[in-house]
Amino acid sequence: MSREEDIVRAIPAIRNSVSRRAFMQLAAAAGIAVPVGAAAGAFANRAFAAPAGKAATCVATPANDYWAAFIKGFKATAGALNVEQVELYHDNDAAREISQVRGLPTQGVNMLINTVVAAGEVPMIAKLCQENKVYYTAIWEIPAWFTPSDVGDYFVNYMTANSVEAGYQVGKELFKSIGGEGEVVHIKGLATPTDDARTAGLMKAAAEFPGIKLVGGLRGDWVREKARTVMLSMVTAYPNMKAVFAQNDSMALGALSVLKERNLTNVKIAGIDGLSEGLQEVAKGEQFVATNTSLAPYQAGFAAVTLFDALSGWKPRLAERLLYTGSLTATAETAASINEKIYQGAELPFDWAKMSRTLNPDNWDPQNNIYPIDPATQWAGQDGQDKLNPAYADAAAWKAEFDAVTKLYADHYKSGPFK
């Protein structure tokens, strides 16, 4: 056996992913061909070439705590996979967003993670990516009944947290905190499918508490200051309110500041997104009783890994092209631990390379609860079901596919900070 073969075979024994990657880079610099699968010990009798990856993420603004955490996950994953990275911010300007996507080929970008201003932009962005051979993942928003199969292989998948479940779980915690009865002010976000889903979850929870009366319903547009303005009107309109349900943490924190200024310390509040500041408030066990964290750094990181795998030749199954990424409902008992793991540590508690299907074909591990989305459930009651791609037409085949992918991800979920 040659010295080069000895070096290549030594790579899997290096357990630390950073050290392993550095070793591989040194070997490559010395002219030793290192297969992509070497990171996991997945060797074959043919040579592999690492893909020339350059990933972009296009989100609203780094000034928002949620997107700052999202970018942190994106950067960590790009570094772990040795992929170049580009950060783009559309500032909730759809024209700016489309222009940024059109410019990706001139920057050499071949992977894009995108959260759109509004769901209606996804088909255009997906089409641009398909035409320019940019692998694309959409996160959070997508039009009802529109799927990656409508575009092509470069629209790898759509991912979102289960917003109905988040609204339901947080709503129940909030209602229990006020004894299951009383007026609850509802503050909505922007008019998006995600906002609609969180409202649906809240309504589902309210149906289990007949003593709850939901009031308000004004929009804070996901923005803290606008939620403050809404809350100022709500304290006058509903002086007997018992609680406030805000559809994201930024709005919840804005509303909470008004309640504190008015010395309304008996009014409970809850949010969604699990921002660090929100988790810290929940951990106090006082007014802010619950939030649901969609694990923003994980969302970005898992999407980046998926695109890396697609670039490396992996083909997702139909049921892997619409996915829920697991989230957690945080209460006073769990909020501090979640905040420490996701926001406070120097490094994020995920092995990004271990998630990769191409680097670890046999023992990849998503390190979170990932499960497929059934379009018929996700968009039940919404117009346009007749437009659903024919790939889903065979109900029996789709059911078998759905169950198989659900089991696949459950079986591979072996580790992670919230296992």
Neighbours of 207 (CB within 10 A): 11
Tell me the per-residue pLDDT of 350-378, one tens digit each, with 9 for 90 and over.
999 999 999 999 999 999 999 999 999 99
Kindly state the DSSP code that residue 280 receives in the 8-state scheme: H
Q: Which of 118, 75, 120 is nearest to 300 (CA)?
A: 75
The mean-pLDDT minimum among 57-61, 158-162, 198-202, 227-231 falls in 57-61
- Mean per-residue pLDDT for 385-390? 96
The CATH number assigned to the domain with range 54-161+295-412 reads 3.40.50.2300
Residue 151 pLDDT more than 90?
yes
Neighbours of 296 (CB within 10 A): 27
Beta strand spans in 23-142 (E): 54-59, 84-89, 111-114, 135-139
- Mean per-residue pLDDT for 165-178? 98
pTM of the model: 0.85
pLDDT at 40: 42
- Rounded CA-CA distance 326/105 in Å is 32
Token pair 């629209």 in the structure block, residue: 155
- Rounded CA-CA distance 321/152 in Å is 11
pLDDT-based confidence at 85, cuts 50/70/90?
very high
Give yes or no on whether 54-161+295-412 and 164-293 have one common fold.
yes
Q: Which fold has domain 164-293?
A: Rossmann fold (3.40.50)
Q: Which of 124, 121, 168 is nearest to 140 (CA)?
A: 121
- Rounded CA-CA distance 39/21 in Å is 8
Q: Name, in order, each residue with C-beta under 8 angstroms of 110's C-beta and a sequence gap of 6 or more.
A: 52, 53, 54, 55, 133, 134, 135, 311
Q: Which two tokens stand for residue 85?
A: 């990275």
pLDDT at 24: 53
Q: Which of 269, 248, 273, 247 is nearest to 258 (CA)?
A: 269
CA dihedral defined by 302, 303, 308, 313, rounded to 10 degrees? Answer: 100
- Rounded CA-CA distance 110/124 in Å is 17
Measured at the CA of 172, the angle between CA 167 and CA 177, to 5 degrees, comes to 130
Residue 27 pLDDT more than 70?
no
Q: Domain segments of the chain: what residues?
A: 3-40, 54-161+295-412, 164-293
pLDDT-based confidence at 241, cuts 50/70/90?
very high
pLDDT-based confidence at 52, cuts 50/70/90?
confident
